[in-house]
Each structure stands twice: as structure tokens, then as C-alpha cells.
A = this chain, B = another copy of it.
């Protein structure tokens, strides 16, 4: 089991980081927060040209034939920069669901010509019951799904339908309404999706549809841990840089021991979280360990860490970290929403307890 980054992964990271550094500086992200366009289309094209959108898609399906390990590295970088691109919705959730169904539609997602979204609430955790708020009648779909990540950017919706089944629906089909929500994280927006007698194409049904959705949720949660590591890493780096530069009382504030110790603790938590995120990516990619355990563990550790790192960044930047112009809040909002996305740490820990045979049934439950 390889928990390190390979040379190929490091090369990929460099390419992605170079693009993000040039095309997605904090000032641009902040400027985008209130724009109507939910994502940065030109950045998306640059990522597509790097092949970053279809890394874990086999070559015969139009992808790079790499693995989820490489996709995880891209997410680390996207987390570092809080880039406003629909990567989680399209390149992770929708792509994984389509791959599991062996649908040809995956090729256009891998190439970036189509943006996809998986029509489930962003808070859905792996292991949840099949989310079927849409029903089918005479081949037409009707129903509503709230809080769908990246739906506002998507031209292709992958929709779980009671039955169970999984449908592909073009976003410009009759009866489709996508209503943007005012999101806490404006760099990763959610939207409510309504279908009213909308035509769609079945891409899987029965157990296969259930498995496809579960696979997407599990992969999504597992790779989100890598994004969270990226968020935390960037927060720690920015904070370390700031406390070295910022002088108060005639000293760099980073020479004060209380600040040093807090950052040392944060670094250590990051080191441990990174091991769990790599473990999840490796396990999802190779099946070398139980992926359900690996994902639940990585989410337990990384989701909390990202929030803590972002909160420490805001605090240790003092007043400047509370301003709209400073990027600290981008990380804070991404991290806080990440804590809710694809299962809260509490839900993942509950799952973990079940998976590793630490049961919760309590004899005295009745009396409380």
C-alpha cells in the first residue's frame, strides 16, 4: 500500500498548481463571489486541457486511464485555491456514477465539453438509502432534488429515480428548473433541481443504479478528504507566512510561543490527516484495504481538520482575516460546507464504529 505521492502525481500537482496560480488568484476568486456565473469557464477549459477532468476514467471511455489517486491530487490543489469550478459535481460525483454504469456519456465529462451533476443533496452520506425523490411515469420524470452541488453549471444531470433507476437528463430539457441557492460557500454553489414531466434516458436500473450512486458517494466522500487536506495545508502555509511577517510588540508574532505551539499542533494534525486521505485514495484506487472503513476514517479526520485550520487562520490573521478582501474566508466557507458535504464527521464516525465492530446498542437506552 503506497501512501506517498508518486513522481507522476507530483508532476500532475505542479501542472495543476501552475494553472491555478496563474488563473485563479485569490483576488479573482473573491471577485467571482457575487457574480451570477457560478463558475470560471476558462479555468475549466484549462483543467480539461491538462486532462485533469478524466484522470480516473479509462482511456477507452475518453479519459486518462490513471486512477482516483491522481484525481485526489487534483482535489488537493483545488482545495488549496478554493477554485470556483464544478469539479466535485462533474469530474467526481457524476463521472463516477456514469463510470459505474459504463455509460458512454462519461467521455464528454472527461473531456470537459459537458459539465455533469449528480442530482442528490450534497449532504447525502455514503451508505444512505437510495435517494429517490424523483419518480417516472411513461418515461417522463417528475420530482425535486434540493441542494445539488454544481447543478447550476451542469448541462447533464444524472438523476436517481425511484424504482430504483438512474437517468441521464439534459439540463435544457422541457420541465427542468434549476434554481440557484444563496450558498454559504459561493465557490462551490448548490442549486435546487425540479423536473416536471421531463424526458430522460435510463442508464442503469435496479441494483446497478443503487451501486452506481453508492460508488459516487463513497468516492466523493473519500476524495473530498484530499480536498480538505489541501484546504488545511494552504491555511497553515498562509498563516505561517503571515506570523513570520507580522510584527507586534517589536517581534514577529510567530516568535510567540503560544502561536508556535498552536501551529505545531495544527501541522501534526495535518500530517495525520494526510495519511488518512492518501489511504482513502489508495484504497479506493486499488481495493488494497476496506474502502468503506478508509473513507469513513478519512472523512472523520480531514473534515474537522480543514475547519480547524481555517478557523485558526482567521484567528491568527487577526482583523485582516475577518475582511472580505482577504482569502481566509474562502477557505473557512469551503471547509465548513465540506464538513456537511457527503456526510458530517459525526455520521462518518458512526459508520466507522459499525464497520469496525464497535457497536452502540446500549442496554440502558430506555431510561434516558
Chain A interface residues toward B at CB < 8 A: 256-261, 350, 353-354, 360, 368
Distance to closest chain B CB from A156 (angstroms): 32
- With a cutoff of 8 Å between Cβ atoms, the chain B residues found around residue A350 in the complex are 368
Bound-state Cα–Cα, A256 to B255, Å = 11
Q: Which of A259, A261, A360 has the most CB atoms of chain B within a 10 A radius of its CB?
A: A261
Taking a contact as CB atoms closer than 8 A, the residue among B256, B353, B368 that contacts A257 in the complex is B256
Bound-state Cα–Cα, A353 to B350, Å = 21
Bound-state Cα–Cα, A354 to B366, Å = 12
A-B contact pairs, 10 of them (CB 8 A): A256-B257, A257-B257, A257-B258, A257-B259, A258-B258, A258-B260, A258-B261, A350-B368, A353-B368, A360-B368
Minimal Cβ-Cβ distance residue in B for A255: B257
Minimal Cβ-Cβ distance residue in B for A353: B368
- With a cutoff of 8 Å between Cβ atoms, the chain B residues found around residue A353 in the complex are 368
Bound-state Cα–Cα, A354 to B261, Å = 39
- With a cutoff of 8 Å between Cβ atoms, the chain B residues found around residue A360 in the complex are 368
Distance to closest chain B CB from A368 (angstroms): 6
Given A258-B258, A258-B261, 9 additional A-B pairs, CB 8 A = A256-B257, A257-B257, A257-B258, A257-B259, A258-B260, A350-B368, A353-B368, A354-B368, A360-B368
Distance to closest chain B CB from A303 (angstroms): 19
Bound-state Cα–Cα, A260 to B256, Å = 11
Distance to closest chain B CB from A121 (angstroms): 16
Bound-state Cα–Cα, A360 to B260, Å = 40
Bound-state Cα–Cα, A261 to B261, Å = 11
Bound-state Cα–Cα, A199 to B368, Å = 38
Bound-state Cα–Cα, A354 to B360, Å = 20
Distance to closest chain B CB from A258 (angstroms): 4
- With a cutoff of 8 Å between Cβ atoms, the chain B residues found around residue A258 in the complex are 257-258, 260-261
- With a cutoff of 8 Å between Cβ atoms, the chain B residues found around residue A354 in the complex are 368
- With a cutoff of 8 Å between Cβ atoms, the chain B residues found around residue A368 in the complex are 350, 353-354, 360
- With a cutoff of 8 Å between Cβ atoms, the chain B residues found around residue A257 in the complex are 256-259
Minimal Cβ-Cβ distance residue in B for A350: B368
Bound-state Cα–Cα, A353 to B191, Å = 36
Distance to closest chain B CB from A341 (angstroms): 19
Distance to closest chain B CB from A335 (angstroms): 24
Bound-state Cα–Cα, A108 to B28, Å = 81
Bound-state Cα–Cα, A350 to B368, Å = 7
Minimal Cβ-Cβ distance residue in B for A365: B365
Distance to closest chain B CB from A318 (angstroms): 16
- With a cutoff of 8 Å between Cβ atoms, the chain B residues found around residue A261 in the complex are 258
Minimal Cβ-Cβ distance residue in B for A361: B368
Minimal Cβ-Cβ distance residue in B for A127: B367
Minimal Cβ-Cβ distance residue in B for A351: B368
Distance to closest chain B CB from A233 (angstroms): 23
Bound-state Cα–Cα, A350 to B364, Å = 12
Bound-state Cα–Cα, A353 to B368, Å = 9
Distance to closest chain B CB from A367 (angstroms): 9
Minimal Cβ-Cβ distance residue in B for A129: B367
Bound-state Cα–Cα, A8 to B320, Å = 52
Bound-state Cα–Cα, A90 to B360, Å = 38
Q: Which of A257, A259, A260, A360 has the most CB atoms of chain B within a 10 A radius of its CB?
A: A257
Bound-state Cα–Cα, A235 to B259, Å = 25
